[in-house]
Amino acid sequence: MCETAGCGKIRISADPLDKYTAERALARLARPSSLKRLAEMRDLVAQKAKEGKRLVEELKLHQAELARVYGARGMNLAQFQAAKAAAAEQRATALADVRAGRFLDDLPELTLDSIVDWWNENAGEEQKKALLRLVVKEVEVGPATVRGSRRFDEDRFSIRYW
């Protein structure tokens, strides 16, 4: 689930870390304030996904317009390439927002009991990851306390929420 720069410098088995992170995130949701924050994050991600869809459609038209202007010699190659690169960057960001919101409709009612039941009974892996992305901002993995150790050491991890 590593999606940030700097990943890959420390090796660890992903399954135990994912399980530990999920358990800690679900435990955090036992706080009433956390459920409220979860609802806020869900709404924010849903709004960004909606805006992302709109922007992707806008950028399709924009790219066609760029090609038309370049074809009519209204801009030089360097200007065209710069505009095309900027549009591609905006599109990538918008598509990431759309992907982040893809499974929000599958989330249960935001009560602790509903979430736990959904997690254990109905949720698929992608749906679980969607919930975790709302709760967990970052997981930082430190080096092993003993070089070459294969023991799962909770002290190696720092989980940042929201």
Model confidence pLDDT, tens digit, residues 130-153: 899 999 999 988 887 777 777 788
Would you state the structure tokens that stand for residue 138, as one six-digit string? 């970052």
Instruction: Give the mean pLDDT of the chain.
Output: 89
Tens of pLDDT along 22-67? 999 999 999 889 999 999 999 999 999 999 999 999 999 999 999 9
Specify whether the CB–CB gap between 26 and 114 falls below 8 A.
Answer: no
Give pLDDT, residue 6.
59
Give pLDDT, residue 8.
61
Give the pLDDT mean for 12-27.
88
| Residue 3 pLDDT exceeds 60 | no
Burial class, 132, CB count within 10 angstroms (exposed 0-12 / middle 13-18 / buried 19+): middle
CA angle, residues 33, 42, 18, in degrees to nearest 5: 85
Tens of pLDDT along 103-133? 888 889 989 999 999 999 999 998 999 899 9
Give pLDDT, residue 99.
92
Give pLDDT, residue 105.
85
- Compute the distance between CA of residue 24 and CA of residue 29 in angstroms, rounded to an integer: 9
| Residue 1 pLDDT exceeds 60 | no
- Compute the distance between CA of residue 100 and CA of residue 46 in angstroms, rounded to an integer: 8
Domain boundaries, the chain: 28-161
Q: Which contacts (CB < 8 Å, 24+ apart) does range 44-49 have?
A: 45/97, 45/100, 45/101, 45/104, 45/133, 45/134, 46/101, 46/104, 48/97, 48/100, 48/101, 49/97, 49/98, 49/100, 49/101, 49/102, 49/104
Give pLDDT, residue 86.
96
The share of the chain scoring above pLDDT 90, in percent, equals 64
DSSP symbol at 6: T
Give the pLDDT mean for 79-83.
95
